[in-house]
């Protein structure tokens, strides 16, 4: 499998990719848009994209790119985020003056930053920060990144597990161009959709009524502006169940009746993380 992700080698998306698909051919991309464009133009490539984080919420740009490219979701993967403080070989914690990383990583590691009076520097991504430290060769500078980044850029892990909250998990989606739904079996499934309601009173209430009457659970409902306006919104939903399940089909039929647009983004097995919390 050819698998692309956003960020430098050693990014958490890279780590998630090799954990989920150990034998895949990895391709880093500079931006999320580059990832989506690559999968759209070349069906050989799948992409692994962070959708949301348990602490920081949804990942910026993804909700704009999903309706634009309408790639299919093939799988979900919940990956624990373990932050490490990295520096040059031989660096001690007391030598460090600054720490560089992505804004979310900085925000999730405030305890060690404040305790050691480190000056935070916001960077584009965690792995890029590690790469910078490796090239800069200044022992007063450090980065917050993955253990994989420390291996790739030959850095020392000065402190492990520096995140403030150990229950830090990111949900990744594996996406691609071709439509493929797994056969309905005795397993747990997620069906993901994106829809836009008609601009009438109680439209959303009517859209969701079918799920209630058919006893179908929604495990995610999220809204975001449509076409960068405040006049209408798109809704992203994750449905517990397979699209071939009769109850899910009836719910989607009723949903379609009350929407301006409705796109099925994928049907895939639910990650076991959902049931092992």
Q: Is 5 a catalytic residue?
A: no
Q: Which of 170, 191, 195, 211 is catalytic?
A: 170
Of the candidates 32, 172, 211, 236, the residue annotated as catalytic is: 172
140 assigned to active site: no
SS3 of the chain: CEEEEECCCCCHHHHHHHHHCCCCEEEEECCHHHHHHHHHHCCCEEEEEEEEECCCEECCCHHHHHHHHCCEEEEEEEEECCCEEEECCCCCHHHCCEEEEEHHHHHHCHHHHHHCCCEEEEECCHHHHHHHHHHHCCCCEEEEECHHHHHHCCCEEEECCCCCCCCCEEEEEEEECCCCCCCCCCCCEEEEEEEEECCCCCHHHHHHHHHHHCCCCEEEEEEEECCCCCCCEEEEEEEECCCCCHHHHHHHHHHHHCEEEEEEEEEEECCHHHHCC
Query: Residue 192 pairs with which residues in a beta bridge?
Result: 238, 266
Residues with a known catalytic role: 170, 172
């Amino acid at each position: 499998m050819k698998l692309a992700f956003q960020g430098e080698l050693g990014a958490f998306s890279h780590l998630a990719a090799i954990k989920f698909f150990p034998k895949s051919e990895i391709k880093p991309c500079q931006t999320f848009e580059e990832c989506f464009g690559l999968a759209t133009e070349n069906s050989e490539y799948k992409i692994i994209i962070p959708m949301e984080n348990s602490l920081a919420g949804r990942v910026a740009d993804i909700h704009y790119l999903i309706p634009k490219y309408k790639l299919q979701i093939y799988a979900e993967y919940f990956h624990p985020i373990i932050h490490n403080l990295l520096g040059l070989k031989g660096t001690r914690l007391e030598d460090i003056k600054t720490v560089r990383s992505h804004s979310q990583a900085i925000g999730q590691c405030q305890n060690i930053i404040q305790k050691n009076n480190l000056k935070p520097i916001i960077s584009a991504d965690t792995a890029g920060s590690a790469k910078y430290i490796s090239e800069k060769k200044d022992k007063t500078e450090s980065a917050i990144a993955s253990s994989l980044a420390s291996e790739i850029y030959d850095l020392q892990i000065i402190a492990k597990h520096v995140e403030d909250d150990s229950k830090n998990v990111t949900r990744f989606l594996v996406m691609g161009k071709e439509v493929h739904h797994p056969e309905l079996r005795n397993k747990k499934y997620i069906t993901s959709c994106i829809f836009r309601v008609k601009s009438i009173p109680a439209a959303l209430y009517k859209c969701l009524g079918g799920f209630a009457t058919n006893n179908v659970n929604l495990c995610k409902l999220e809204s975001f502006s449509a076409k960068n306006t405040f006049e209408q919104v798109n809704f992203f939903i994750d449905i517990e169940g397979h699209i071939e399940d009769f109850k899910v089909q009836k719910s989607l039929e009723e949903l379609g009746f009350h929407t301006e647009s409705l796109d099925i983004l994928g049907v895939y097995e639910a990650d076991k993380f959902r049931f092992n919390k």
